[in-house]
Structure 1
């Protein structure tokens, strides 16, 4: 994860490591609230994950792939090089506009 941090201006590795201490103060929330890789996704028809290959949170892709496979969820993973965290919601370049249009097309179905 630290190797990815250099390419991610939005999410630092130290922030990701702080999730555990932050979640200790949340009380009795379900596990999936504390970290989405331990959630129950059964019943979802389809889910899409968009990551910048160089963003700090890309370390979680293998965990998400594993849980989606274990729970028989039709999941697609899109990793784009040299992008930024949450790039599909900021359609400021070709790659982010493509992802944005892809999400909108899916939602319109």
Structure 2
């Protein structure tokens, strides 16, 4: 914060890191206002726990295609994230339930064949509820965090897109 204004800082996270990048917003809104909002967030395949039966059913369907994240793990993740502490705030378990007031421009990137994509509609609903300027990008036939695996043609395209979006929004 000494060298850059908050609006000139972009935060990018993949998987659990995508959850943490997005999770900054509800964290700040939960009484940590001394931390400024970044100017831009990119969440690639953000990991969050399943909250509704609808999300769970979508996740089970996607589980047939996902090569990285088993649907069952996302049920178990609630216990892992709580680590025996029931005082962990809900938004830290189910990020889609967080308060996204004053959320900066945000880009989500998912692969269509990953279990975590099951929560994308819930994130979209949250972004709309809080009137966030957001973009939802879905790589058709792609896997978990595909843009950070530029070893295949599609991954290379995702990598270039990710870099371009960061340049455009920073």
Flag whether TM exceeds 0.5 (same fold).
yes
Please name the residue that 1:15 is paired with: 73
Unaligned runs of 5+ in 2: 1-58
Say which one has the larger Rg: 2
**Matched residue SS, 1:100:** helix
Please name the residue that 1:99 is paired with: 158
Deviation for aligned residue 1:36: 1.8
8 Å Cα contact 2:148/2:155 also seen in 1: yes
Distance 2:101 2:159 in 1: 25
TM-score by length of 1: 0.85
Please name the residue that 1:3 is paired with: 61
Residues 4-83 of structure 1 mapped to structure 2, 5 A cutoff: 4-25=62-83, 27=85, 28-83=87-142
- 1:63 and 1:26, CA in 2 relative to 1: closer, same or farther beyond 3 A? farther
TM-score by length of 2: 0.57
Unaligned runs of 5+ in 1: none
Deviation for aligned residue 1:26: 5.5
Distance 2:161 2:131 in 1: 23
More helix by share: 1
